[in-house]
Structure 1
Amino acid sequence: MHTKAAHNAARHLLAAIACGLAIPGGAAAAQPAMSKAGIPAFDEAMLAPDYWIGRLPAPDAVLLDAPATAAQRAAAYAPGGGFVDVRKLPATLTRDQVLDWIRGAQQQTPVKLAVDDAGHPVGPDTLQVLRDATAAGQVAATAPARYGLAVRRAPLRTYPSDRVFYASLDQPDVESLTAGTLFPGEPVLVAHMSADGRWLLAVTTQGPAWVRADDIAIGTADAVFGYAALPPGRVVTGDHVVTVHTRDLPALSQLDLDMGVALPRADVPPDQPVNGASPYASWPVRLPVRQADGSLAIRPALIRRSADTAPGYLPLTRANIIRQSFKLLGERYGWGHQFDARDCSGLVAETYRSMGLLLQHSSGLQGTSTALKHRVFTAADTHAARVKAVREAEVGDLVVVPGHVLMIIGHVNGEPYVIQDVPYAVFKDPATGALRRTKLNQVSVTPLLPLYADDEKTYVDAMTSLVQPTRR
């Protein structure tokens, strides 16, 4: 039914997919006063991590020790855990399997492929061009699997194309072919090549997707998985860290490393230069490099000692959960890690990855993974029961609604607050009773209970799961 209400509901649903809103319907709580920033019950002091850490009774208590976090990482690759164990995929690929992965790549985003970046509708001809680029008709009956490591932060795509598409031009922050991101050192199985030879169909820990061929170095299974299995010698604990500039090895010069990326140590003589610089004031690490013929080599690189890194995963404490998530505060929203940034699931995944826990690449998987403890909510759960649950939620718990995830950072006067990466936040203006849509487009701190999807349902009433990553 093409009514104004139906049109608005559709817009709200798309925003939900973009980690901004929930699905409509339900009861609402009284609205606290609105700040000048358009957020109710908010004070600028709340933007400091110490504000929340200082409210905790035992902020530095270890919630899960190293064996427990290792067990969680293993469970993430077990059935229902949400991660693909690339090592266990068949070494000989069949045509049916590869074609299934080509189709699977196209399902790696919920965003409709409707218009191009000029606003022209996507018709059958454009879709056929994208399908032809996959070279599905050239898949061999059987072929050996190839393996590789990502050599840089690499965008994943649902089709082998750099073309840009959207569900609508008024949602430019949510690109239709975006399927996620690979990080340096991540292993992949290479299943197929695009028609133009510029893209590889890669099966990653997130599933199948297309990645540019020059972002992957091809090696033997032993070399690829041997590197991936090495213990972390340095873990990135800042929002971004870059390797030291070098002219000697440009591929490893100022390489961007995201929070939670773990790199093996490079054992180098302290008096011998690494890529033209002494290692004595830096941390030597090992990184994959793509050689001229596309093959894999492992080379040392340097990370400044002053950079925000750690010798291993950080202890899983509530103080560290807050500190790590707040390092991303104010970062621009990036659907599927676009714009060198993160989205809602990326925010919480990288926060926990820096402490050794693996969270899935989508809010939906985070809310259902068997590797994480969670409480499921259905239509049978009352508003009062939902409010009680979030008021009792602990720092680090995740509130999952359709298309979005938020993380509890504490309570003020018994009311829960969250950090979230979100395009928009919707609250009811206490002065007028009308909904106020505040464009945040960044990692933000907000109260949870006043958040609305529309005039009928709050986030709490849309909640499908309350995830408890810090508990076993």
Structure 2
Amino acid sequence: MAPRAGSKLLHTVSCGAWLATVCMAAALCCRPAAAQDASSTIPPSAVIGVQEAMLSPDYWIGRAHAVDDVLMTPAQIAARNRLTSVHDQALVDLESLPTTLTREQIQGWVKSAASPLNAPLVDMHGDPLTAQTLAAIQANVGMQQIPASEPARYGMAVRRAQLRTYPTTVRAFASKESVDFESFEGGTLFPGDPVVIAKASVDGKWLLVVSYQGPAWVATTDIAEGSAQAVFGYAQKSPARVITGDEVRTVFTPEAPEVSELQLDMGTRLPLAKVPPDQPVNGQGPYESWALELPVRGNDGALSFKPALLQKMRDSAPDYLPLSRANIIRQAFKFLGERYGWGHAYNARDCSGFTSDVYRSMGVLMPPNANAQGKSPAFAHRLFTAADSHAARIDAIMHADVGDLIVVPGHVLMLLGQVDGQPYVIQDVPFVIYRNPQGGVHWTKVNEVSVTPLLPLLADGKQSYVDAMTSLVHVTASSTPADK
């Protein structure tokens, strides 16, 4: 299985500064005539420039060129993934970590995982978190209880597991108005994701782990501990199934509740279990389902594996999908209308989680942090600074390809194509903000994966997305030494 893409800063910076001010806006004077006409009337949805036909993947596939061309072969993707894992500092190569962990190393991971506790924080009702609450959270870290050195331990996520910046279930927010962006949210592990276990919290309910996304805290019950061989060897097992739907679930089974209705997200690769075709699996015949081999946690916390059934009618494939323009569009649209989930919260995903999961279904490894996606050294990208003119930026976008990523500080969008000279994107976004025909700012909370025009939008209420763009990423091409 391709390793889970991630960031050492996790999702705590994965749209943060951008979302804290304004998510999108527009200046009509910056747009070509066709774009002005498209947004001159505000529709009932309050999302300008979008017609019902545009909400179908077939609309965009029909407008794209060479839609079924394979843009990168599996061998090319594997080679680029190796380059990414080695050179992208936003990713952690777990197998290269030392087998003995030092106090200094673990303390560094604790600090790297943490978000500030000195800033004013409130609960979801807007009531301030007390100093006593914050002190108890900090004390549960157990910074003074780390030995001078200890052997590295290895584990695996047994379910979709939320990562936290602190070992606590307390939910914290910067303000009552920002309850969609939880301050202690740190990302998500998927079933089968490997981790290095660094330490336990004082109460034993949490583990500080290092995944490909970097260090974070995860509930102890979500991790099963095993040998390095068992943990890292799981991803190499074949044959397997790759989840190609937005999410699917294993079948319900009272005989094995630990693998019953388990959520499996797009791009997750799971090996097939070796089971007799004429014998029931957890009380059900397997001939109309795929028998997956899933990790489970024993009462002693030990890792083992158990078969679970995934109906053959569910959206999965025997391998990663071919990387083509048609598949990029199809996979992206499977999330259309899904609620925005900061750091993969709400059983969903955020802007960079959306783009990384789409490409993960085609085997492409990329960090889910938006800013890291914009500068990952393995990808061909064009970086923009204040020296780049508006005209040069427009020209770059007009020559971009389907699936290219447009990165602004803290946010990432995926290019779909053009309509009457205006580029359109699909993005996982909380708000659409633009100037209405009278010149006033119109703010629409969409809070979902949405299709929108690009040129009418502003990144911070003042500057257009185009002028705020820091990077244009061509995901289907590798970088060259000149690019770096």
* Aligned-residue offset at 1:352: 0.5
Task: Specify the alignment match of 1:58 in structure 2.
Answer: 66
Q: Is 2:75 aligned against 1:67?
A: yes
Alpha-carbon separation, structure 1, partners of 2:22 and 2:322:
31
Aligned equivalent of 1:456, options 452, 459, 462: 462
Q: Is the 8 A contact 2:429 2:446 kept in 1?
A: yes
Equivalent in the alignment of 1:287: 294
Show the counterpart of 2:447: 441
Per the TM alignment, residue 112 of structure 1 is displaced from its structure 2 partner at its CA by 6.0
Deviations 1:204-251 (A, max 9, x none): 100000000000000011111111332461000011111111122110
**Structure 2 match to 1:264:** 271
Q: Does 2:44 align with 1:36?
A: yes
Offset of 1:285 from its aligned partner?
1.4
2:191 aligned with 1:189, yes or no? no
Q: State, as a whole percentage, how many aligned pairs show the same letter.
A: 52
1:214 match: secondary structure: helix
Aligned partners of 1:18 and 1:356: how far apart in 2?
32
- Pick the aligned partner of 1:143 from 143, 150, 175: 150
- Residue 220 of structure 1 corresponds to which residue in structure 2? 227
SS in 2 for 1:54: helix
Change (3 A) 1:186 1:157: same
CA contact (8 A) 1:428 1:452 kept: no
* CA distance, structure 1, for counterparts of residue 57 and residue 401 of structure 2: 16
- TM-score computed with the length of structure 2 as normaliser: 0.91
Q: 1:377-392 to 2 correspondence within 5 Å? A: 377-392=384-399
TM-score using structure 1 length:
0.93
Aligned in 2, Cα 1:293/1:302: closer, same or farther, shift over 3 Å?
A: same
Cα distance between partner residues in 2 of 1:20 and 1:346:
20
What does residue range 14-413 of structure 1 map to in structure 2 within 5 Å? 16-17=18-19, 21=23, 28-29=30-31, 31=36, 32-33=39-40, 34-80=42-88, 82-107=90-115, 114-122=121-129, 124-231=131-238, 233-413=240-420
Task: Give the 3 Å change call, closer, same or farther, for CA 471–246 of structure 1 in structure 2.
Answer: same
Q: Provide the C-alpha distance between the structure 2 equivalents of 1:60 and 1:54, rounded to a whole number of angstroms.
A: 11
Q: What CA distance in whole angstroms lies between the structure 2 residues aligned with 1:350 and 1:470?
A: 15
Q: Can you list the C-alpha shifts for 1:28-77, whole angstroms capped at 9, x where unaligned?
A: 33643232222222211100000000012211111001101111221221
Gaps in structure 1 of 5+ consecutive residues: 1-12
Please, which moves more after superposition, 66-75 or 303-312? 66-75
AA at the equivalent of 1:50: D
Distance (whole Å) between structure 1 residues aligned to residue 134 and residue 28 of structure 2: 39
Counterparts of 2:21 and 2:372 in 1: how far apart (Å)?
A: 14
Conserved? CA contact 2:123–2:129, under 8 Å: yes
CA positional deviation for 1:79 = 2.4
Kindly state the Cα deviation for residue 453 of structure 1 after the two structures are TM-superposed.
3.0
Sort the Cα spacing of 1:65 and 1:224 in 2 relative to 1 into closer, same or farther, 3 A.
Answer: same
Task: After TM superposition, give the deviation of residue 81 of structure 1 in Å.
Answer: 5.2
Alignment gaps of 5+ in structure 2:
1-14, 479-484
CA distance 1:157–1:113, shift in 2 (3 Å): farther
Could you tell me which residue of structure 1 aligns to residue 477 of structure 2?
Answer: 471
Partner in structure 2 of residue 4 of structure 1: none
Which sits farther off after the overlay, 149-158 or 226-235?
226-235
Q: Distance in 2 between matches of 1:128 and 1:272?
A: 54
Partner residue of 2:8?
none
What does residue 10 of structure 1 align with?
Answer: none
Aligned to 2:176, the other structure's residue is in SS state coil
Which has the higher relative contact order, 1 or 2, with Cα contacts under 8 A spaced 6 or more apart? Answer: 2
Say whether 1:425 aligns with 2:427: no
Q: 1:435 to 1:290 in 2, by over 3 A?
A: same
Deviation per residue, 1:363-411 (Å, 9 max, x gap): 0111111122211010110011111111111100000001100000111
SS at match of 1:420: strand
Q: Distance in 1 between matches of 2:335 and 2:384?
A: 29
Say whether the 8 Å CA contact 1:16–1:22 is kept in structure 2.
Answer: no
Contact 2:72 2:323 in 1 (8 A): yes
Opposite residue 476 of structure 2, the aligned amino acid is T
Q: 2:10 matched to which residue of 1? A: none
> Distance between the aligned counterparts of 2:192 and 2:175, measured in 1?
35
The AA in structure 1 aligned to 2:30 is: A
3-state DSSP of counterpart to 2:178: coil
Residues 200 and 128 from structure 1, CA distance in 2 versus in 1: closer, same or farther, beyond 3 angstroms?
same
Corresponding residue SS for 2:432:
strand
CA spacing shift, 1:140–1:71, aligned 2, 3 Å: same
CA spacing shift, 1:113–1:362, aligned 2, 3 Å: farther
What secondary structure, in the 3-state scheme, does the structure 2 residue paired with 1:132 have? helix
Seen in structure 2, the aligned counterparts of structure 1 residues 196 and 27 have a Cα distance that, compared at 3 Å, is: farther
Distance 2:28 2:113 in 1: 35
Give the distance between the partners of 2:364 and 2:460, measured in 1 at CA. 34
